[in-house]
Chain A
Amino acid sequence: MKFTWFHLMPWPHMPDDFRQKHRSVWVDLPSRMYEPELGHGIYHQYLDQLEFAESVGFDGIGVNEHHANAYGLMPSPNIMAATLTRRTSKAALVVLGNSIALYNPPIRVAEELAMLDVLSGGRLIAGFPVGTSMDTNYAYGTIPALTREKYAEAHDLIRKAWAADEPFAFNGRYTKLRYVNCWPKPIQRPAPPIFIPGGGSVETYDFCIDNTYSYSYLSYSGYLRAKLLMGGYWKRVAERKVDESPYRAGFAQVICVADTDAEAEKLYWPHVSYFYNRCLHVYPGFADAPGYRTVKTIQTGALSQFTQAAVRNYPSMTWKDLLDGRYVIAGSPETVRQQMEELIKTLRVGNVFCLLHVGNMPDDKVRHSTRLFAEKVMPHLRNLWPDWNNHDDRFWTHPMNERVPMKVAAE
């Protein structure tokens, strides 16, 4: 198993009456709510937490990309990952965004990810999300019905740019470059491992299978509700007659660990509530721009994460509801271990993106929960895929052997 400690980096100072005062945490939330001088400390605290996660043994540390929102403050995940390259030495840097349809020209993504791979000595895992509709369409203006075609073309360009040793011309519909010449190039050849965040579209299943990319379902509704979608993926894997390595798939889970189940509620409920009721408070009109998802995908009945959030009545859900429905895995190390094992086995995932910072959780609680997970849960989950030797070379990093010594903060 591979465990990635994933940060969303939310704004932790949304007021108690946030839902009443604002229709959406995304797209049109006035930025006057953001206080830059508070933001300074928050960014550094969040980065410290990612570094701490490496020091307690997580395999990966993760960042992502979002725009115009208080849900996640990383418009540029590459800047965050760049700081981590110099202060960590072991963990994979899981950059689960660049939203490649947004960059003009997308060669910029090939260059920056190559920079990160070189800086980190080959520790980069690249993620290529389409991006949420709020980000891609409303905040960045991409035409919804053309988003996927633009994405596919950007992907094609990036892979070719990494693979080529000579300049070449790229005559795309959206990008025309007479000289594609990617300096630097990534250490990992022909490319870093690539994870694709997916939300149930059949096209994405095939895209992952065709390219040997790991399919990552980033859900906040827990593993019980994810079974249908992941089942669809594994069915497709079987139909395509490729191997069923669990490392072909990953899942994101909100996790809170305490000494006892009762203690978990006491420590973490306010922050879990903050996350579900403020961070996920998206105006339904922004959740799914018409044309953003294909008709075929809509017909499968899979709703986007944020349409689900809009349809579900999170404010009415109690701690018990969220736990019973396994939206959140929380409790003593033994409770968490049992449920994590069930998650990993039922979804058949080799990667778990652990969301251990939740909402407006203060630093001491984040570290407490993280340490308990690393010391008392993770070791018991390491050996769940013995048939695969608990590792699949195709879906994890290949760091270079002799990296320059650095004075690393986490050591």
Chain B
Amino acid sequence: MKSRFLTLKPSKTRIEVVEAGKGRDLFYLHGAGGHMPGDPLIAALATKYRVVAPLLPGYGQSNGEDGLRDMLDVTLHTLDVLEALKLSKPVVVGHSMGGMIAAEMAAIAHTEITRLCLLAPAGLWLDDHPVTDIFSKLPYELPGLLFHDAEAGQKLLTTGGNMEDPEFLKQFLVMNARRLGMAGKILFPIPDRGLAQRLHRITAKTLVVWGREDVLIPPVYGDAFKKAISKSKLVRIAKAGHAVGQEKPAAVLRAIRDFF
């Protein structure tokens, strides 16, 4: 995995783009937590695809978050990034918040995005199955929310610092303020920005993937996405939580390979 930088015009927004692997182009959008260190999903996808994974403003070394305020801003920004990358008919993959953005992109630019993969996407709200409020969670709660196997998940995350150490606390708060501050513009307080009314516009061949043990966005949302997108298939992955791609990278890779 290596990083390069892309400068968007005319905003001069500088975007960090992680790239790995060779093969057909695959455009990957991360969730609200950003990339994990040595992200297992990107690593697995890179064995078969050329993975191009930009970081949203506010994440990593990407800047320009002050200019993005709402869903349309984020969707158009990401379409601009996709265009600037000059990829050849990529599979567009998005996880969680990234899935929400990918679905919005596919709904708005439905002639451009023809292959779509949504991994436990955000963007819908069912009153009977509320999505967990991630913004009020403390770092120690995250592994259990993101992974079916919380202990293994803990090892994948780098949040295991000592919150009583003021320096660590400050660094954590800064990183969190940037990342979740940005994510909050489309996810806070309820991760619904009207996607439900636009899903019918998606014409892409769409694969929806859900971890059967997802406690953050319950698997029932998978059925809602499948129902709303015409050319779609839902694949459920056993013993996987919300970070389905990071917890079961091989199974997710197989599902994508089988479908596209």
Contacts and interface: CB of A to CB of B under 8 A. Distances in A.
A146 B185 CA distance: 8
Given A289-B136, A295-B178, A143 B173 contact: no
Contacts of B181: 144-145, 290-292
Given A283-B136, A284-B138, A299 B184 contact: no
A146 B135 contact: no
B166 interface: yes
A3 interface: no
A295 B178 CA distance: 7
A301 B188 contact: no
A137 B174 contact: no
A234 to B, nearest CB: 24
Contacts of A143: 184-185, 188-189
B174 A146 contact: no
B137 interface: yes
B177 A295 contact: yes
A123 B190 CA distance: 41
Contacts of A286: 136
Interface string A342-362: 000000000000000000000
Contacts of B180: 290-291
A299 B135 contact: no
B177 A301 contact: no
B138 A285 contact: yes
B154 interface: no
A293 interface: yes
Residue from A144, A146, A291, A301 whose CB has the most chain B CB atoms within 10 Å: A291
B182 interface: yes
B184 A144 contact: yes
Interface in B157-172: 164, 166, 169-170
A311 interface: yes
B138 A145 contact: no
Contact of A289 (B135, B164, B179, B190): B135
Contact of B177 (A138, A141, A290, A311): A290
A301 B138 contact: no
Contacts of B189: 137-138, 141, 143
Contacts of A301: 166, 170
Nearest to B188: A143
A298 interface: yes
Interface in A218-232: none
Contacts of B177: 145, 290-295, 298
A54 interface: no
Contacts of B184: 143-145, 289-291
A285 B136 contact: yes
Interface in A147-174: 173
Nearest to B178: A295
Contacts of B164: 311
Nearest to B138: A285
Contacts of B178: 295
Contacts of A283: 136
B138 A290 contact: no
Interface string A274-311: 00000000011110111111110011010000000001
B129 interface: no
Contact of A144 (B69, B170, B188): B188
Interface string B175-206: 01111111111001110000000000000000
Contacts of B182: 145, 291
Given A137-B188, A144-B184, A288 B173 contact: yes
Contacts of B166: 301
Interface in B118-146: 135-138
Nearest to B186: A143
A381 to B, nearest CB: 35
Nearest to A134: B136
A138 B136 contact: yes
Most chain B beta carbons < 10 A, residue from A283, A290, A292:
A290
Contacts of B136: 27, 138, 283, 285-286, 289
A286 B166 CA distance: 19
A299 B178 CA distance: 12
Contacts of A145: 65, 177, 181-182, 184-185
Contacts of B183: 290
Contact of A290 (B65, B170, B176, B190): B176
A291 B188 CA distance: 11
Given A289-B135, A291-B181, A298 B174 contact: yes
A135 B46 CA distance: 45
Contacts of B179: 290
A137 B189 CA distance: 8
Contacts of B170: 298-299, 301
B10 to A, nearest CB: 20
Given A146-B69, A295-B174, A289 B138 contact: no
Contacts of A284: 138
Contacts of A291: 177, 180-182, 184, 188
A288 B174 CA distance: 12
A299 B174 contact: yes
Contacts of A294: 177
B68 to A, nearest CB: 10
B174 A285 contact: no
A375 B133 CA distance: 51
The listed residue with most B CB atoms (<10 A of its CB), out of A145, A283, A292, A294, is: A145
27 contacts: A137-B135, A138-B189, A141-B188, A143-B184, A143-B189, A145-B184, A145-B185, A146-B185, A173-B69, A285-B138, A286-B136, A290-B135, A290-B179, A290-B183, A290-B184, A291-B177, A291-B182, A291-B184, A292-B177, A292-B181, A295-B174, A295-B177, A298-B173, A298-B177, A299-B170, A301-B166, A311-B164
Q: Which 7 A-B pairs have the closest CB atoms?
A: A291-B181, A290-B180, A285-B136, A145-B181, A290-B176, A141-B189, A298-B173
Given A137-B188, A288-B173, 8 more contacts: A138-B189, A144-B135, A285-B136, A289-B136, A290-B177, A291-B181, A299-B174, A311-B169
